[in-house]
Chains A and B, each alone.
Chain A
Amino acid sequence: MILNDLISIKEKELAARKKIVLRCCMAAGCMSSGSKGVKEQLEKAVADAGLQNEVEVRGVGCMKLCCEGPLVAADPQNALYIKVTAENAPLIVAALKGGTAAIPQADPGSAFFAKQFSIVLANSGVVDPERIESYIARDGYQALHEVLHEMTPKDVVAAMVKCGLRGRGGAGFPTGLKWGTVAKSPGAKKYVICNADEGDPGAFMDRSVLESDPHSVLEGMAIAAYAVGADQGFIYVRAEYPLAIARLQIAIKQAKQLSLLGAGVFESPFNFNVDIRIGAGAFVCGEETALMSSVEGKRGTPRPRPPFPAESGLFGCPTLLNNVETFANVPAIYRKGAEWFAVIGTEKSKGTKVFALAGKIKNTGLIEVPMGTPLRTIVEEMGGGAPDGGTIKAVQTGGPSGGCIPSQHLDTPVDYESLGKLGSIMGSGGMIVMDQTTNMVEIARFFMEFCMDESCGKCIPCRAGTIQMHHLLDKIVNRKATARDLAKLEELCDMVRNTSLCGLGQTAPNPTMSTLRFFRNEYEALLQPDPFGPRSNGAANHSKPATK
């Protein structure tokens, strides 16, 4: 495979394009609403009408507006049909000759679509994820070719530093710095791992990216591997995502057949293989050291850092670990240039972020917006506000490690620093909207129960602390707690946060602390009078851990 081969595949694919394309969403959300039957009926209707030479029915990835699925888009009519069923699908084909089908449509010009800025999701809903040619037709794998033939690994790292991309897994560590550290670490064997263990409840961006555009992740991983000097990659995917796993397997096989993966990629000395590792349902495996332990076939328990994975990671070798969305950004950065990427977003948070919008909101689905977009734009304009005339009470970001942002702070721009200041985190991108009927104390208990169940049991603050905090929250919800219990809960939050071994424990108190900060009145309304009177100061300080 050389560049000319790649270009001839692209040209062949474009030449074979038919005039009309019906794109039918085949991502997990629409599939569960019956899009497979819709696609079959569309194909049948096209065949019945004798339009095979003019119309292509293409199974594509996520078209973002998940709540209205199954979705079918018609090009070039620019129509987006919603809630299509197998029964009324033939109407879409009938309408191709003129007129419109009597099927509800979404407006592609509405705020939900118009305010999006796609980098990661640029191919989502456009390419057929099960055909590599479809990705190559969108200039896929050209960035990898350029990197391998025109840049040294040092240049690749330098460009990554320059573009300012930060890790999309939640913590926001500068990606270029990470790549540089792994590249500098001595060692003959190095690994690249893609973290696709999207455990945050309420987040489904990584699933959609893997289902809709798996090759962009593979290309991103290959570029990273070249930069750091690795020849083996692993993708750690949750077992809960069978469709994503199947699509990745197909993608890896196709890339190998075209020798875009394997030995001597693009006839260069660069070798790179990718294997899939399937998780088995443990939230803690999203933490990097726990994830590597799981890839090694062990219990997914974290270990203290340092040594950081960049120095001693998988099987003791230097390891680069990035999230799905981070890797999906990479091909576009090298194709369009670091300068192009660096002007998108805010000064400290570059590029875009994909959010999974869900909960009590009209339009649920995927959105990708430039960093720094105010929450209000996302929730009210794009999301369409709360359904059934409700009012938005809070927005939860960051899952069980994040916090609830109350409605009075909706004008906060979405970037790593601003969300951190409000006691929440960017997280991997789950965004759950809550309306006035949501009880915030129950939400805090819900997340604490999650952390309690998912605590791996290795360190005591997290193992015992989450149980005690859950117990106290339960007591408050059941109106059996006093002010003394609330004070104890706050002490525990502080202790668990400061003394736990890994991110799970350190962030487990976040939902409780952020709801206490903004919705303290809801907690206090549930408290009972203390039969022993107010607590003395001496007792309050008794068990408080020393803070720096």
Chain B
Amino acid sequence: MNVSVSKPQKKRIQAVLEHASGDKRFKILEVHMKKHQFRQDALIEVLHKAQELFGYLEDDLLLFVSVKLKLPPSRVYGVATFYHFFQLKPQGEHTCVVCLGTACYVKGADKILEAITQRHKIHAGETTADNKLSLLTARCIGACGIAPAVVYDGTVTPRATPESALKQINQWVQK
């Protein structure tokens, strides 16, 4: 895809590449893109890798991907914002994902979410002011047999209750 690039855009791209040259993670990402032969249809795979390396997708990172895959930045940004899995903001030190699938919902997952929201004064999708905790929700993690399920830092925990969730989170946010 050939795109005519204006002067300020050129400058911005140069700044991104300069930023990238000082960071090893960009190198790893580029190797990953090479593995996919810089194919444009591997964009989602590349973004997965980028998020794995950086934790979230910042603007410079998205621009870097767009330059390397020769895609317009709008297309990369469009894909990154379309899918729930991609985070455009940095996450807190710990993440707590409350599954809100139907099975978890009828078994009281909404009450777990409410308890955390009340206690820590954050809504789903937000991070606490001290950057300790990010609260997220999932549409269904497929753990319906052990509902309600809560995922603490990537570990699925079965049969959660508001009390067990608050207890776990307390271990993280204690000052």
Contacts and interface: CB of A to CB of B under 8 A. Distances in A.
Interface of A: 28-29, 31-33, 66-67, 69, 198-204, 207, 238-241, 277-283, 294-300, 356, 358-360, 364-366, 396, 399, 430, 432, 434, 438, 443, 446-447, 450, 454, 456
B142 A28 contact: yes
A163 B146 CA distance: 36
Contact of A297 (B40, B102, B103, B141): B40
Given A299-B78, A360-B106, A207 B142 contact: yes
B122 interface: no
Kindly name the residue among A283, A298, A356, A438 whose own CB sees the greatest number of chain B CB atoms within 10 A.
Answer: A298
Given A33-B158, A296-B41, A364 B139 contact: no
B82 A282 contact: yes
Kindly name the residue among A204, A365, A438 whose own CB sees the greatest number of chain B CB atoms within 10 A.
Answer: A204
Contacts of B146: 29, 32-33, 66-67, 69, 364
Contacts of B44: 277-280, 294, 297
B82 A359 contact: no
A300 B83 contact: yes
B43 A202 contact: no
Interface in B60-111: 75, 78-79, 82-86, 100-103, 105-107
A359 B105 CA distance: 8
13 contacts: A29-B146, A32-B149, A69-B158, A198-B142, A199-B139, A200-B140, A202-B140, A238-B142, A280-B83, A280-B85, A358-B145, A438-B106, A456-B82
A176 to B, nearest CB: 29
Interface residues of B, number: 39
A396 B79 contact: no
Contacts of B158: 29, 32-33, 69
Contacts of A366: 145
Kindly name the residue among B44, B48, B138, B155 whose own CB sees the greatest number of chain A CB atoms within 10 A.
Answer: B44
Nearest to A67: B145
B85 A239 contact: yes
A297 B84 contact: no
Given A198-B142, A298-B43, 16 more contacts: A28-B142, A201-B140, A203-B140, A204-B143, A239-B85, A278-B44, A281-B139, A294-B44, A297-B44, A299-B82, A300-B83, A358-B102, A396-B102, A432-B144, A434-B106, A446-B105
Given A32-B143, A66-B146, A450-B139, A201 B48 contact: no
A31 B157 CA distance: 10
A356 B102 CA distance: 12
B145 A359 contact: no
